[in-house]
Structure 1
């Protein structure tokens, strides 16, 4: 019996990449899955493959997100698991610094997909999930959401925002059964890394590593997070690092000591 067995599951950005791996895992567990994505061809094909439903969805449009949530809830008697997975990489600040015109449309689209899409998903689903036993909202963030990532500044900012949003929601709704967690993978074998795929093996990215992770490994972590029922956690996973819960508590203790010392010194 898996974490999604017999449960209603909605995956945004579920047609390809990490999203498709999440869909396949949930369906293999016996979950009743709805795929929400812009790619109608890939989404419909995957839905047919695994016995899921497909809902055309632009996550930057709240009405479409709400419709996808309603589809899952009406088709499957509610919503138990929400994977907010849709994402874009976005523009870099290094171009304008060299005199290359900044792509404002790309910037706005990245913020809309990576942040608005998460906020809209939670806003649409929370009334259905807040008091539902075992309900789980899982956001696909990035290791860039807890560390830093050169040349992907906008992407990094949106992922930091998504992680903070998840952690804040967990505190706000701590008394309710619904849980909120973030997945923070390193480089995953999806179309998002195509622009850097060639030079990636030749870089040194420290503890994160530069090897490419299979999407299925992220789905493995998602299943674990849902099953373990943690709340407000951000889990790092890469091809070089085993799944690790980010130690926010240590940061908080350091900040408290620093502020306390500053106060005593003042």
Structure 2
């Protein structure tokens, strides 16, 4: 079962948390004038449900042994994870404007040695799920009841190491491992499904011995139900939540850009984007 997260205000809903994560990401992006903003906006709902519904952790002690682990395989999604860590109180809000600066704890690609709450150094895509298998297996051998979450991208589905990790997780019956794949169908070389076709994705993971939930990754209610199903499953097998998300969710003029894998945004557009996020009617 999900546990109450200590030392965090309880007044905000998950939708409000997701909006704040989007705001933090846009403010960090404005510092550099560019970045992987579309991914951060798209995955904000997933991160809100992960950090404010599903996971157990202590904001004041990011290395607490009793925490659930969240591994970010996609190093360039760091801006999204930093936004969640800021919202969770793991990172202090006054560091937000240091994003991408020299000597900052918030480098543009996630590095575990620099950032509290960053469990792995990503960037070499396709490695995260295999690393998560090792972490989950280690926790099993320590008799820990904690979960390991691993967020990876649809672009990583073309990497053989991802499927080696999937096979290994099923072999070891890692029921403490919850994979999260962000299916936004966009990568640097074009639509992800055209670069390396990965559908039918749910069937593929089921054939590897995983329990699969596939949801609209921008529907918070659906995400909550999927994460609860994965956490409460009694079968000894790994679990995965396949999240179909929309790049740049919540900012229509960025959603409409044909290629938004890496966005360069004009100065006034940052404020326009923030105004759109602020105007959302969230409960």
Question: Is TM > 0.5 for Structure 1 vs Structure 2?
Answer: no
Q: From the CA coordinates, give the structure whose radius of gyration is larger.
A: 1
TM-score, L = length of structure 1: 0.41
Q: Which has the higher helix share?
A: 1
Q: Which has the higher contact order (CA 8 A, sep 6+)?
A: 2
